């Protein structure tokens, strides 16, 4: 039996958020000017008692088309949201002359 894992992860850099796929080729990048973050901690047992401060993260991407990226069960979501918000506010730095 052949199985294909669609495992992907999100990389947040200064001014840019990228969705990268582990198997296969491809990635999607989004500029930070069109992003809105939403944190959900609605499930008391899953997020508060057993989840070590986890929560569900939704990234709203607006532009020519509107997309929503749903990332469930992000551990320590409050501290990660602060870091993500700080990074997407920054402008990307350009490398200096070589």
What's residue 3's pLDDT? 61
User: Could you say which residues of the chain have pLDDT below 50?
Assistant: 1
Q: Are 76 and 54 in contact (CB under 8 A)?
A: yes
- The dihedral over CA atoms of 87, 23, 60, 67, expressed in degrees to the nearest 10, equals 140
Measured between alpha carbons, how far is 59 from 87 in angstroms, rounded to an integer? 14
Tokens of 33: 């000017």
CB atoms within 10 A of CB 21: 14
Domains of the chain: 8-89 (2.30.29.30)
Structure confidence at residue 75 (pLDDT): 85
The pLDDT, as a whole number, for residue 47 is 65
Q: What's the pLDDT at 36?
A: 86
């Amino acid at each position: 039996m052949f199985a294909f894992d669609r495992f992907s992860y999100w990389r947040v850099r200064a001014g840019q958020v990228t969705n990268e796929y582990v198997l296969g080729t491809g990635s999607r990048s989004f500029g930070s000017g069109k992003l809105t973050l939403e944190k959900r901690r609605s499930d008391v047992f899953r997020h508060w008692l057993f989840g070590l401060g986890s929560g569900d993260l939704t990234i709203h991407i607006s532009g020519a088309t509107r997309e929503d990226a749903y990332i469930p069960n992000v551990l320590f979501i409050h501290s990660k949201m602060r870091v993500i918000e700080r990074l997407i506010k920054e402008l990307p730095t350009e490398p200096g002359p070589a």
